[in-house]
Amino acid sequence: MINAVWASMILCGIAFAVARGDAGMITATIFGQAANGLAAALNLLAIIAVWFGLSRIAERSGLLAGLARAIAPLLRPLFPELPKGHPAFSAMAMNLAANVLGLANAATPFGLQAMKQLQELNPRPDTATPAMITFLALNSACATILPATAIALRAQAGAADPNLIIVPAALSSGAAMVGVILIDRWLRAARRR
């Protein structure tokens, strides 16, 4: 799926550029975007290092376990196949908490950590497990109480009240979250049958 989307985007891009007689942009875009991607990746690398370091401290001090204990009861019914108290619960809980607060950069390292821990339980390492699918769906549709990016963009554009969208965005992301949880439950039930 991802391979097909990736290849289609590149082939469409090349076809359109050639059709417009602007083949020169292809080379420039490929290498320009490669450089942009490297810069973004290095920036992310620094953020990941900081958050893995901090989360290790929080882990050793028992703080992460405390937070996970608060959120885990909500996650447990969604991941019946995970052993009780598995470390992936803490990482997933931290990832979702960061998402709720709109801290996208902080959420990513915890999400990657959760995936690493879920992968350790995976009997077929090349294939996504039901737990991974549930987690990614939750992550993708996570309710947001602070849509920081959109608020900043609105303030920049001179909105009468930039914060006007907080409640509507929380409601619509909440609806998305409830929706994917229900669909995921249904898909898991259908798979068992």
Partner 1 sequence: MASIGAWILPALVALTILVAWRRGVPMYDEFVDGAAEGLRLGLRLIPLIIGIYIAIGLFRESGALDWLGRAAAPVLAHAGFPPEILPLMIIRPFSNAAAMGVIAELLAEHGPDSFIGLLASIMQGSSETTFYVATLYLGSAGVRRPLHTVHLCLLGDLIGYVAALWITSSLA
- Taking the C-alpha atoms of residue 7 and residue 174, their distance in angstroms, rounded to an integer, is 33
Binding to partner 1 by CB under 8 A, coded x per residue (else -) over 124-153, reads: -xxxx---xx--xx-xxxx-x-xxxxxxxx
Which of the residues 157 through 176 are near partner 1 (CB under 8 A)?
157-160, 162-166, 168-169, 171-173, 175-176
> Between 27 and 74, whose beta carbon lies closer to partner 1?
27
What's the token pair of residue 168?
């509507």
65 binds partner 1 (CB under 8 A): no
DSSP H or E stretch at residue 105 = helix 104-120
Closest separation in Å from C-beta 69 to partner 1: 14
Determine if 2 is a binding residue for partner 1 (CB under 8 A): yes
Min separation Cβ 160 and partner 1, Å:
5
* Amino acid identity, position 122: N
CB of 158 to partner 1, least distance (A): 6
- Residue from 21, 60, 77, 192 touching partner 1 (CB under 8 A): that is 60
Q: Which of 21, 24, 61, 121 binds partner 1 (CB under 8 A)?
A: 61
Applying the rule CB under 8 A, the residues between 66 and 125 that interact with partner 1 are 101-104, 106, 108-109, 111-113, 115-116, 118-119, 122, 125
Count residues binding partner 1 (CB under 8 A).
106
Three-state DSSP state, 121: coil
Q: Which is nearer to partner 1, 2 or 189 (CB)?
A: 2
- What's the distance, CA 110 to chain centroid? 9
Interatomic CA distance for residues 95 and 107, integer angstroms: 5
- Closer of 80 and 120 to partner 1 (Cβ): 120
Q: Which residue do the tokens 């409601």 mark?
A: 171
Residue closer to partner 1, measured from CB, 49 or 70: 49
Q: How far is the CB of 44 from partner 1 (least distance, A)?
A: 7
User: Alpha carbon of 121 to those of 85, 124, 125, 150: distances in Å?
Assistant: 14, 9, 9, 37
Query: Can you tell me the distance from the alpha carbon of 180 to that of 142, in angstroms, rounded to the nearest whole number?
Result: 10
Tokens of 169: 């965005």
DSSP reduced 3-state for 16? helix
Nearest residue to 137 (alpha-carbon basis) of 109, 101, 176: 176
